[in-house]
Chains A and B, each alone.
Chain A
């Protein structure tokens, strides 16, 4: 029987890991929720951001600059992608959108490999994140504790951006009836352009935030993509709040099942996803009837 303190420690860890997962998945759900495009290049953008952050961090020793660089490079890649490619696919079936973003993911990852090589790279924890914190009996890395607030803060900012600003309003209206919005003299295409860039930027940003915790590897994006899928399927794809709920649930599953048998924690994630698909296909926060 595991001790209470271990249980509480894992519960807390699940929350931190979960919010980080929510942050990682946020870009995916923003793009889908507004444009209806499932961005299979999401993981690759995460990788692009993480590597850009690594390069800048190595050059400037400033983690803040690194995060900015990660976000901006991913934003730039996202904007180029939208204008050059994804735009052509808004009117095509979702399967085509999946295929093209999937192809882009391969290209981005191989470019990263070409530039940085295939070796594992590690990003040192920023100075203000080094060391550990004692929370009750739990010894917890300071940086992870900080990601709890970084993730929560970022998600709040994104929420306000999408639900409390004019851009958010246009975008959400644009999904419902893009013709009507254009007739009102609002350029929906431009709004879409901005949103795709925003989603890409959030992915890159999450990549740099996550970088001091994990090891950089060009192929890491795929796992990120799959975990994001699990999160958004559980939470309800396209629902911003769903990503947060899904992220926390996924984090807790990973953490709590590890007390019993860590080798099954990953499988449990997929089992949870299967259960959601059976009993609530639209996801926990998803809207019924939305495909």
Chain B
């Protein structure tokens, strides 16, 4: 886009009592664009609209070709104002003569002309396409948390992405299980990625994505450990017409109310886990239990609570006896736990994530609450077990994106391949859920591009929306076309007794691997409207 402003200027000519001033921009391959004045002062004169408004808004700009062979323009005469030649008396004032206010004005208008021009071209640039794939490589920007509260998850995600990239570029057999069309690289181009620090801050994440998209010509942005980051990024990437693949994001809104055409979520989320977990815990722990909730005070906390209450009431007759809404990032839970201890609850549902869940469960243990209550965690980062230890985790029911013992189940050959490859690459470390989601997201994107046969974002999106089933580490996986939510299987786990652990990472038994597809909500439930492709 930047190169387009190489030459800019003004067109102006006197007519009647008015001087008409037209901004003109010339793009490097010789095309001129300008806004044309139509008639006298009635309505908008410089009407340069974004592509998506094109059908409704009166388009009063035109392009004038000075370059032979510029067929695209002539093919797409789409409005009646268009003239083929500039008026004779047009005066072209170049940059040299444009001083002061003019110098200021020139790039202003030329900047706006880009969008005007883009829409009327046959294969016009969309996002970084085709500029981002002109060489032998294609770039992906990773917005992961290297500092901040989720820096552990961020590092895992980076590992997961790097493993996927390595396998994509070498055309590894494991990768071809998910993306069968992959040879070496993506459509023959070497995939390059770079990780940046999103700091778990939406603003930093967007800033990072801006750099990846504008400077590095990224064709993909990927990574998140919080829904606020994921939502910010899908919104931004949608505007910049660049595909965004979230990593961890549990909020309903990501593929609900705030869903975007360019955003995809390869992990399960609150609704799915509540729907899946409620019958399991009703069966395992019994019906008609009295639940107390620990709820971090933000949108995710509130919606997840509502959903778990609904499903647990429906599937198990559970009731809520205490809801402790606390500030996000609280460190001392004593006063909430005293309330819970006094509430008569027999089950503790921990909506908290990350440090909040570690703190709250650890302190619940100290208050003797875990002796009296069972713990259920609808959305768990599997790091929790490492932080709390098996002593506390035993008997806890939780859902998570992935657990490494799935590799021991012959039903999931992909899981074994993934765990083995990960451990080999990262010095024997077992992958956690964050690494898995990252790996899966990258692989699914590569598959989408291969199936589309082009990097052109709308085509890739359509390929991803096609719902082609692929075999992921946790079984069949695909994106639902209507909201870009992955139908992905995920395990429900129960904490092992310390005595039963076979190694230091063996914290959980898998109770059930949930069939993701059947847990998806009806498409219209959360009001997703995906928006335009271009």
Contact = CB atoms under 8 A, between A and B. Distances in A.
B332 A17 contact: yes
Max count, chain B CB within 10 A of own CB: residue among A122, A143, A215, A265: A215
A115 interface: no
Interface in A91-136: 110, 113, 117-122, 124-125, 132
A44 to B, nearest CB: 14
Nearest to A261: B325
B359 A214 contact: yes
A259 to B, nearest CB: 7
A217 B355 contact: yes
B166 interface: no
Contacts of B324: 258, 262
A125 B391 CA distance: 12
A5 B343 CA distance: 12
Contact of B155 (A117, A214, A223): A117
A261 B295 CA distance: 12
B297 A223 contact: no
A139 interface: yes
Interface string B361-395: 01100111000000000000001001111000000
Nearest to B369: A139
Contacts of A13: 334-335, 338
Interface stretch (B48-56, B145-153, B450-458, B521-529): B145-153
A120 B326 contact: no
Contact of A141 (B154, B367, B389): B367
B147 A215 contact: no
Contacts of B368: 132, 139, 141
B334 A214 contact: no
B327 interface: yes
B498 interface: no
A140 B367 contact: yes
A220 B331 contact: yes
A153 B305 CA distance: 42
B329 A118 contact: no
Nearest to A121: B387
Given A139-B367, A140-B367, A254-B332, A118 B151 contact: yes
Contacts of A16: 334
Contact of B339 (A122, A217, A262): A262
A122 B342 contact: no
A55 interface: no
B341 interface: yes
Interface in B315-342: 324-327, 329-332, 334-336, 338-339, 341-342
B331 A265 contact: no
A255 B326 CA distance: 12
B472 interface: no
B354 interface: yes
Interface in B61-94: none
Contacts of B148: 118, 219
Given A120-B354, A124-B389, A215-B358, A5 B325 contact: no
A120 B387 contact: yes
A138 interface: yes
Contacts, number: 117
Given A17-B334, A113-B147, A139 B362 contact: no
Given A118-B152, A118-B154, A214 B387 contact: no
Contacts of A259: 335, 339
B335 A144 contact: no
Nearest to A13: B334
Contacts of B389: 122, 124
A161 interface: no
Interface string B256-279: 000000000000000000000000
Contacts of A223: 329, 331
Interface residues of B, number: 40
Contacts of B359: 214-215
B387 A263 contact: no
A34 interface: no
Given A139-B368, A262-B339, A119 B334 contact: no
Contacts of B334: 13, 16-17, 144, 255
Contacts of A17: 332, 334-335
Max count, chain B CB within 10 A of own CB: residue among A13, A17, A125: A13
A263 B326 contact: yes
A262 to B, nearest CB: 5
Nearest to B363: A213
B327 A266 contact: yes
B341 A139 contact: yes
Nearest to A119: B152
Nearest to A14: B335
Contacts of A14: 335
Contacts of A178: none
Given A120-B354, A132-B367, A262-B339, A213 B332 contact: yes
Nearest to A124: B389
A53 B362 CA distance: 18
A132 to B, nearest CB: 4
A217 B357 CA distance: 13
A219 B149 CA distance: 7
B342 A6 contact: yes
A138 B334 CA distance: 12
A154 interface: no
A215 B327 contact: no
B327 to A, nearest CB: 4
Contacts of A125: 366
Contacts of B358: 120, 122, 215
A125 B148 CA distance: 26
Given A118-B150, A139-B367, A263-B325, A5 B342 contact: yes
B367 A120 contact: no
Contacts of A214: 331-332, 359
Given A132-B367, A223-B329, A119 B342 contact: no
Nearest to A3: B342
A6 B342 CA distance: 7
Contact of B336 (A124, A132, A140, A262): A262
A215 B325 contact: no
B151 A113 contact: yes
A141 B339 CA distance: 15
Interface string A1-37: 0010110011001101100000000000000000000
A207 B330 CA distance: 16
Interface in A255-289: 255, 258-259, 261-263, 265-266
Given A214-B331, A215-B387, A9 B338 contact: yes
A3 B226 CA distance: 38
A122 to B, nearest CB: 5
12 contacts: A10-B335, A118-B148, A118-B154, A120-B354, A132-B366, A144-B334, A213-B363, A215-B362, A262-B324, A262-B336, A262-B339, A266-B327
Given A5-B342, A120-B383, 6 more contacts: A10-B338, A110-B147, A119-B383, A144-B334, A219-B148, A255-B335
The 9 closest A-B pairs by CB, nearest first: A118-B151, A119-B152, A258-B335, A141-B366, A263-B325, A132-B368, A215-B358, A120-B387, A255-B335
Interface of B: 145-152, 154-155, 297, 324-327, 329-332, 334-336, 338-339, 341-342, 354-355, 358-359, 362-363, 366-368, 383, 386-389
